[in-house]
């Protein structure tokens, strides 16, 4: 039986890019349809917009909220930072996907304790609610980031602590399976480099590159959701799932988008807290990382949680976007595959149409 069929699924931060696309995917497969999807966030405006979209209303009116608790997709106002609020929304949950986060690197640098409150205390509230109230939650999935691997900025540091809180929770609340997924920036999502390049092209350039050596994994939003669903179906307690994905030089991405236009590329220098290469598995983690089909599985460090891997060979080396790069032509073909060579709305908006 599917881990999703007839379940009550809570998506914290569900009005964000990932939450919206994950919700759409959950509704696609009628054979494994959840019983209820609860979108939990503190932004009433985004909730109202998402609610109206799912009700296919053409006029945004207040009455759209009525009968909210009778629908398959429910919207709950609340804050992950608030323990009673978290307890309330989790009391009927079978599965929790924690997509709530402060994820903008500069914002977290200027307001580090705000990142702590959401990315660390918020996830601790989930664990505490389950443990202290003996809630029958089957699985909790934490959404992490490449920046949690060998972190150099506040956002990555807070996400690294989030991973550890969820992993050790398997000891404190053993009836619940706590797992994580870790991946990099999502291709063409809001705030990523491709929409920026499109806007710069639209305005006649120049296209700004921090350094010619900069590389990134190119992860489609659909693949990010695949990773979450694969982890839900397959991951063991305490594991971190990492997708195997292609990588490219950002300058090759820019040149592919420019095509035959006469536009300048301007080198601006590395920004504070930025890495030249994304790293999804560190050298130290590699010795407890194993292939799991299209994914890598990072085993928990704690011996009470780690499962025996038998005679399997570990990865043995770091998994970095600088390791194996696509050629400029392969980069162009991938962008063409996802219809990104011409201007498009951010990817999560396209999935909601």
Q: Which residue has the tokens 């390049």?
A: 197
- Distance (Å) of CA 213 to CA 143, 149, 207, 224, 258: 28, 20, 15, 25, 18
Q: Helix axis angle, 154-172 relative to 122-133, nearest 10°?
A: 10
Say how far apart CA 275 and CA 304 lie, in whole Å: 33
| β-bridge mates for residue 180, sequence order | 142, 240
Concerning whether 103 is annotated as a catalytic residue, the answer is no
Beta pairing class for 215-217 and 295-298: unpaired
Say how far apart CA 144 and CA 297 lie, in whole Å: 14
Residue 129 phi, psi dihedral angles, 5° rounding:
-60, -45
Helix (H, G, I), strand (E, B) or coil at 144: strand
DSSP code for 214: -
| β-bridge mates for residue 240, sequence order | 180, 298
Residue of 46, 147, 159, 275 with catalytic role: 147
Max alpha carbon distance in the chain (Å)?
A: 63
DSSP code for 117: I
List, in sequence order, the alpha helices (H) in the chain.
Answer: 17-28, 44-54, 83-90, 105-110, 112-115, 122-133, 154-172, 193-202, 221-234, 250-258, 283-286, 328-337, 347-351
Catalytic residue set: 147
């Amino acid at each position: 039986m599917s881990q999703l069929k007839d379940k009550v699924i809570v998506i914290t931060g569900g009005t964000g890019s990932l939450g919206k696309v994950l919700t759409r995917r959950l509704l696609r497969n009628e054979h494994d349809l959840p019983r209820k999807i609860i979108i939990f966030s503190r932004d009433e405006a985004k909730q109202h917009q998402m609610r109206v979209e799912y009700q296919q209303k053409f006029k945004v009116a207040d009455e759209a909220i009525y009968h909210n608790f009778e629908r398959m997709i429910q919207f709950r106002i609340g804050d992950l930072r608030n323990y009673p609020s978290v307890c309330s929304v989790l009391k009927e949950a079978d599965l929790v996907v924690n997509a709530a986060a402060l994820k903008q690197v500069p914002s977290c640098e200027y307001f580090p304790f705000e990142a702590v409150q959401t990315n660390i205390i918020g996830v601790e509230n989930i664990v505490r609610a389950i443990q202290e109230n003996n809630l029958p939650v089957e699985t909790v999935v934490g959404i992490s980031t490449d920046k949690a691997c060998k972190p150099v900025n506040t956002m990555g540091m807070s996400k690294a602590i989030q991973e550890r809180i969820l992993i050790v929770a398997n000891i404190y609340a053993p009836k619940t399976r706590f797992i994580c997924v870790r991946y990099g920036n999502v291709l063409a999502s809001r705030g990523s480099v491709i929409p920026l390049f499109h806007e710069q092209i639209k305005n006649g350039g120049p296209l700004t590159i921090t350094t010619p050596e900069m590389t990134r994994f190119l992860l489609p939003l659909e693949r990010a959701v695949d990773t979450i669903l694969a982890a839900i179906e397959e991951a063991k307690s305490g594991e971190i799932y990492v997708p195997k994905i292609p990588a490219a030089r950002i300058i090759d991405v820019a040149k592919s988008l420019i095509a035959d236009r006469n536009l300048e590329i301007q080198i601006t220098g590395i920004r504070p807290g930025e890495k030249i290469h994304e790293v999804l598995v560190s050298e130290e983690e590699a010795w407890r990382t194993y292939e799991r089909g299209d994914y890598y599985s990072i085993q928990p460090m704690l011996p009470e949680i780690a499962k025996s891997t038998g005679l399997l060979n570990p990865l043995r080396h770091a998994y970095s976007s600088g390791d194996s790069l696509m050629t400029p032509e392969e980069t162009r073909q991938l962008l063409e595959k996802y219809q990104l060579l011409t201007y498009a709305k951010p990817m999560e908006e396209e999935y909601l149409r």
